[in-house]
Amino acid sequence: MAERFPRSFSARRKILIVDDELINCEILSAILENDYDISFAHNGKDALELLTSTDSEFSLIMLDLMMPVMDGDAFLEQKKLIPSLRDIPVIVLTSETKKEVESLRHGATDFIKKPYESPEIIQARVERIIENYESTRTIRDTSADLATGLYTKEYFDHFAKEILKNHPQGDFDMVVIYLTNFTIAEELAGPIAMSKALHEVGEYLRDEARKFGGITTRSSQEAFLFLGEHRESYDEFFHGLVDMLTAEFGASRLRMKLGIYPHIDMNSKLPEMCARAFDAFEAIRNDSVAKVNYYDAKLHEANVLHERLLQCFENSLQNQEFKVFFQPKYSIEGDEPRLAGAEALVRWAHPEFGMISPGVFIPLFEKYGYIRSLDRFVYEKTAEMISRLKKELGVELPISCNVSRVDIFDPNLCDVICSLVQKYGFEPKLLHLEVTETVYSENTIELIAKTAHLREMGFEIEMDDFGSGYSSLNMLSSLPFDVLKIDTGFVRNMFESDKNLRILHSIIDLAKFLEVRTVAEGVENKEQLDKLKEFGCDLIQGYYFSKPLPEEDFFARVKGELVS
Ligand code: C2E
Ligand code: CA
Ligand code: CA
């Protein structure tokens, strides 16, 4: 017989034949022994002893009903009481039709009539029953998340759909319970305490699901999903959970936030329902105060817009709706500020929505994997500009591009920009790559290797948004970069306190110590400029000198200022 269920272990399935008549045992054995390992017992009692004393798992029991010591019925009664045996299927072997029905009632799976039918029928029946048993067992084994005892996401999906289908007039909420400090809490409390905490959360949610006719699952390491009847308030739910964990773990407790999609639209699909609950959570993920958030009309509008933007991305790229602007950087070392570089910044001139800021679409494209093609477009436009300035004006002006976090780990990045440099014929040092500070602190080792390689190829690296992330000063000295861009936040708030001024000054001193140049971004007035000059900042980028300019305006500006 063909192996229909390939198994990771090679053992053949085991069948136990329980019959006091040797001849019956021999006939069945002859039919099945080519495909299965057969064991025998001659009454119910021996069978139970054999089944409970061995480690090996039986896939099927074939049971005679009339036997001495313990008959088939008594065996079935006993078997039901032993958890490890309860689910093993039983085929009853009998000649009495009345008995067959009774034994099915007692838990037998099927019966085979004596005298035996053709060997093929018996083989087919045995095979089918074992297959069924194994597939239900697979379902049972995988339907629960081990840490919490809750349904896996797959089963949650299945049952949630059933619940919604069976209650088309129902009013339900989808809730995500997100453990915001999972990794740190696990590090602090240790894996044992953490698994206990997860278990408690699972218990709590299961109770709630029972009370409110819902269902719950752990959908990822940090997130639980809960589908239940609509509630006006989740205060009690949230505080119940928090109190339970605080009682259990005290100060080191897990922190969490809720994202709620209330009154779910019964016509939408389940993944969409879950996504909306997640959107509600995402909107408060970085908020230090908000703990519970609802998916509302505003979020919905933003979602619809995002959806539209994603849909038209490819077309927009082809139709040249994306425009690369250039914001000049001025050197303030000498007496007069001098145009000394620029940053390429993308804009989307959308035919319907007008000019869209990168703050809206960059994070979206990063999330959905479109950023790579957009960034490549910007690299190309930048290379084109560098080469045009050189060829038409004889000016060698470095221009920087933003390298998104997805891109920096693209193994082809280096090839892509190297071939641009060749195609447009200029020195790599004119193309600067801005990498945001948070990427450095997330993936330090890989990033060091990557940026070091890019520098070896001659490109300059600018660490963008310095001060917005958490790079330690220690780490800073081992990171390969050429320019430090001070985050706009420092400049914006520099005059708010003496402390702010001192921090800004120290950052510039630190850069000098590390022998890298500094760029201050977001400089909007002369007061800021003068102070930065006094502190020894090298370059200034900001509205004070210029907003980001369209291609032609930028070209004209360079021509006007650098070509006499
Ligand atoms: P960023 O790299 O930190 O860029 C600086 C942002 O500050 C730009 O916003 C710029 O227009 C703005 N800015 C410059 N001077 C001033 C000023 O004096 N005052 C104020 N209030 N703002 C100023 P923008 O162009 O909206 O870009 C936002 C962010 O989007 C950028 O932040 C960057 O992270 C990302 N981005 C922009 N273009 C691209 C791109 O082509 N590729 C990638 N991957 N990201 C981009
Ligand atoms: Ca930048
Ligand atoms: Ca920046």
Residue 371 pLDDT greater than 90, yes or no: yes
Containing 354, the helix (H) or strand (E) segment is: strand 354-356
Taking a C-beta distance cutoff of 8 angstroms, is the pair 321, 348 a contact?
A: yes
Could you give the count of Cα atoms lying within 13 Å of 98 in the half-sphere of its Cβ?
0
Q: What angle do CA 553, 554, 558 make, to 5 degrees?
A: 120
144-148, 226-230, 353-357, 389-393: segment of lowest average pLDDT: 144-148
Distance 462 CA to ligand 3 centre (A): 10
Q: What is the pLDDT of residue 87?
A: 81
Neighbours of ion ligand 3 (CB under 5 A): 464-465
| 482: three-class secondary structure by DSSP | coil
436: exposed, middle or buried (C-beta count within 10 Å: 0-12, 13-18, 19+)?
buried
Distance 525 CA to ligand 2 centre (A): 20
Partners of 196 in beta bridges: none
Which residue's CA is the closest to the ligand 1 atom numbered 17? 522
pLDDT one-digit tens code per residue, 401-451: 999 988 888 889 999 999 999 999 999 999 999 999 888 777 778 888 889
Residue keyed to tokens 């819902």:
214
Tell me, using a 6 A CB cutoff, whether residue 404 lines ligand 1: yes
Distance 279 CA to ligand 1 centre (A): 24
Distance 343 CA to ligand 2 centre (A): 7
Strands 60-64 and 90-94, sheet pairing: parallel
Q: What is the mean pLDDT of residues 197-218?
A: 86
The residue whose CB lies within 8 Å of the most ligand 1 atoms, and thus the one to mutate among 378, 521, 524, is: 521
Look up residue 54 and give its amino acid: T
With bands split at pLDDT 50, 70 and 90, how would you rate the model's confidence at 140? low
Q: What is the pLDDT of residue 390?
A: 97
Tell me, using a 6 A CB cutoff, whether residue 480 lines ligand 1: no
413-424 vs 444-456: helix crossing angle, rounded to 10? 20
Share of the chain above pLDDT 70, in %: 94
Give me the long-range contacts of 471-478 (CB less than 8 A, separation at least 24).
471/437, 471/440, 471/441, 473/510, 475/440, 475/441, 475/444, 476/510, 476/514, 477/514, 478/448
Residue 8 pLDDT greater than 60, yes or no: no
Tell me, using a 6 A CB cutoff, whether residue 378 lines ligand 1: yes
Q: What is the pLDDT of residue 4?
A: 33
Rounded to whole angstroms, the Cα distance separating 516 from 37 reads 74
**Phi, psi (deg, nearest 5) at residue 324:** -100, 125
Residue 472 pLDDT greater than 70, yes or no: no
- Relative to the CA of 465, which ligand 1 atom is closest? 3
Residue 12 pLDDT greater than 70, yes or no: no
Q: What is the mean pLDDT of residues 153-172?
A: 87
Q: What is the mean pLDDT of residues 21-33?
A: 89
Look up residue 251 and give its amino acid: A
- Relative to the CA of 523, which ligand 1 atom is closest? 18
With bands split at pLDDT 50, 70 and 90, how would you rate the model's confidence at 395? very high
The pTM of this model reads 0.67
Distance 488 CA to ligand 2 centre (A): 10
Output the DSSP codes for 136-193.
HHHHHHHSB-TTT-PBPHHHHHHHHHHHHHH-TT--EEEEEEEETTHHHHHHHHHHHH
Share of the chain above pLDDT 90, in %: 55
Tell me, using a 6 A CB cutoff, whether residue 362 lines ligand 1: yes
Q: What is the mean pLDDT of residues 121-127?
A: 87
Strands 223-229 and 431-436, sheet pairing: unpaired
Rounded to whole angstroms, the Cα distance separating 163 from 151 reads 15
Partners of 113 in beta bridges: 94
Rounded to whole angstroms, the Cα distance separating 86 from 108 reads 11
- Listed residue (529, 547, 545) closest to 333, CA to CA: 529
Residue 491 pLDDT greater than 60, yes or no: yes
pLDDT one-digit tens code per residue, 286-342: 888 999 999 999 999 988 888 899 999 999 999 999 999 999 999 999 999 999 999
- Relative to the CA of 366, which ligand 1 atom is closest? 44
Distance 526 CA to ligand 2 centre (A): 22
Residue 3 pLDDT greater than 60, yes or no: no
End-to-end CA distance of the chain: 90
Tell me, using a 6 A CB cutoff, whether residue 561 lines ligand 1: no
Which residue's CA is the closest to the ligand 1 atom numbered 12? 522
Tell me, using a 6 A CB cutoff, whether residue 546 lines ligand 1: no
Q: What is the mean pLDDT of residues 359-376?
A: 91
Distance 486 CA to ligand 1 centre (A): 13
Residue 6 pLDDT greater than 60, yes or no: no
Q: For residue 36, what is the DSSP state?
A: S
Q: Which two tokens stand for residue 249?
A: 């773990």
Tell me, using a 6 A CB cutoff, whether residue 328 lines ligand 1: no
Partners of 424 in beta bridges: none
555: exposed, middle or buried (C-beta count within 10 Å: 0-12, 13-18, 19+)?
middle
The residue whose CB lies within 8 Å of the most ligand 1 atoms, and thus the one to mutate among 323, 402, 494, is: 402
Taking a C-beta distance cutoff of 8 angstroms, is the pair 253, 267 a contact?
A: no
Distance 331 CA to ligand 3 centre (A): 17
In this structure, how many other beta carbons lie within 10 angstroms of the beta carbon of residue 270? Answer: 17
Q: What rounded mean pLDDT belongs to the chain? A: 88
Tell me, using a 6 A CB cutoff, whether residue 346 lines ligand 1: yes
- Domains in the chain (CATH in brackets) are 7-143 (3.40.50.2300), 153-295 (3.30.70.270), 327-345+369-562 (3.20.20.450)
Distance 475 CA to ligand 2 centre (A): 21
- Relative to the CA of 371, which ligand 1 atom is closest? 44
Residue 188 pLDDT greater than 90, yes or no: no
| 515: three-class secondary structure by DSSP | coil
Output the DSSP codes for 67-135.
-SSS-HHHHHHHHHH-HHHHTS-EEEEES-HHHHHHHHHTT--EEEESSP--HHHHHHHHHHHHHHHHH
Q: What is the pLDDT of residue 139?
A: 60
Q: What is the mean pLDDT of residues 57-76?
A: 89
Distance 465 CA to ligand 3 centre (A): 4
Q: What is the pLDDT of residue 473?
A: 65
| 18: three-class secondary structure by DSSP | strand
CA 222 to chain centre: 10
Which residue's CA is the closest to the ligand 1 atom numbered 32? 359
With bands split at pLDDT 50, 70 and 90, how would you rate the model's confidence at 555? very high
Which residue's CA is the closest to the ligand 1 atom numbered 35? 358
